[in-house]
């Protein structure tokens, strides 16, 4: 039977190995000092974004020490939602990627289904590339197209929020009931705060699987107090209690649905058609027969020319007359 302290050391070693599942021993010129799991606040919202694992590592490069935190979500949509939510209010766009922002103290970026956060260090692209290539269970599905439907004119910096369920809606736009949004049918929402005229207003754009479902949700959202609502295809845009109804109408007029088709299914070609295969086989047989016929005629003609050019029959047999001896 193992001693208690030996068992404790084994468990500690196992947990340390399990913790170091995302961050490598070496990151650029920095060496990892420690790694441990992250205790999350707001667990319900993290869970709604598809949270799977989080790990925080301490690195050291000479006199510099910094903290790196990685969150793995279910997919890129969850990483987008977490990025919008965790991005500092005063962050500016970073050159590290489309979903990357930075402050003097913090750098945050989303890559696939990962959210990466650096505190005390501004990573360079050359440092990140090896890490991004070896992230475990990486999912690089395309980002949802809904985020591109949010107007850019008048949008307050870093005010975007991507919502995939009732917890996020209650956190970022509590005036819209989850039952009206109807997430059970597969809806998602992009939210942003806009500064127009003399005040601010929050715009939420909901995406539904079909225009018919969106039409049904439009009727329900129009019942909300002081709601200005518009539908465009499967999208429903809503602003609650705008300071100026005219500004709200002008903002809603910028929401336009444009269908985009992403086709990843294999498309059969003529080579996959069994009828074409049979026809091509017969064509090949015909070509071989024609070639054999031409070759046979050419060989026969050549032999006839040889016979005519010689006085002796080239095919005549030589008789030895051995019976006369």
251-296 pLDDT, tens digit per residue, is 999 999 977 655 555 556 555 667 777 787 888 898 888 888 888 8
Residues 160 and 83: their CA atoms lie apart, in Å, by 10
In b/e form, how buried is each residue of 243-253, taking b as 16+ CB within 10 angstroms? eeeebbeebbe
| Helix intervals (H) in 197-273 | 211-221, 245-252
pLDDT tens-digit series, residues 245-263: 999 999 999 999 977 655 5
In this prediction, residue 293 carries a pLDDT of 86
Nearest to 166 by CA among 189, 192, 148: 189
- Lookup result for tokens 């054999």: 292
pLDDT tens-digit series, residues 134-150: 999 999 999 999 999 99
The token pair that represents 249 in the structure block: 């109408």
- The sheet with strand 188-196 has its strands ordered as 161-163, 188-196, 199-207, 235-240, 227-232
């Amino acid at each position: 039977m193992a001693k208690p302290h030996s068992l404790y050391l084994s468990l500690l070693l196992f947990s340390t190995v399990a913790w170091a599942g995302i961050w490598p021993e070496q990151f650029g010129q920095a060496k990892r000092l420690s790694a441990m799991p992250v205790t999350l606040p707001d667990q319900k919202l993290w869970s709604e974004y598809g949270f799977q694992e989080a790990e925080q590592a301490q690195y050291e490069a000479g006199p510099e020490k910094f903290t790196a935190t990685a969150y793995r979500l279910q997919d890129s949509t969850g990483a987008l939602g977490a990025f919008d939510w965790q991005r500092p209010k005063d962050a500016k766009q970073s050159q590290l990627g489309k979903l990357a922002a930075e402050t003097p103290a913090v750098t945050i970026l989303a890559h696939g289904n990962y959210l990466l956060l650096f505190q005390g260090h501004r990573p360079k692209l050359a440092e990140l590339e090896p890490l991004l290539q070896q992230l475990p269970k990486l999912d690089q599905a395309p980002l949802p197209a809904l985020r591109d439907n949010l107007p850019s004119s008048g949008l307050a910096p870093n005010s975007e929020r991507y919502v995939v369920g009732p917890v996020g809606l209650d956190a970022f736009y509590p005036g819209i009931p989850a039952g009206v949004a109807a997430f059970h049918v597969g809806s998602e929402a992009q939210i942003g705060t806009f500064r127009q005229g003399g005040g601010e207003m929050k715009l939420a754009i909901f995406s539904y699987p079909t225009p018919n479902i969106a039409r049904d949700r439009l009727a329900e959202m129009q019942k909300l107090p002081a709601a200005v609502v518009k539908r465009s295809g499967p999208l429903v845009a809503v602003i609650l209690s705008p300071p100026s109804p005219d500004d709200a109408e002008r903002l809603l007029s910028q929401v336009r649905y444009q269908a985009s088709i992403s086709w990843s299914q294999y498309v059969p070609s003529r080579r996959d058609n069994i009828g074409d295969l049979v026809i091509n086989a017969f064509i090949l047989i015909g070509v071989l027969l024609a070639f054999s016929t031409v070759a046979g005629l050419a060989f026969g003609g050549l032999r006839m020319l040889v016979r005519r050019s010689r006085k002796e029959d080239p095919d005549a047999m030589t008789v030895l007359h051995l019976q006369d001896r």
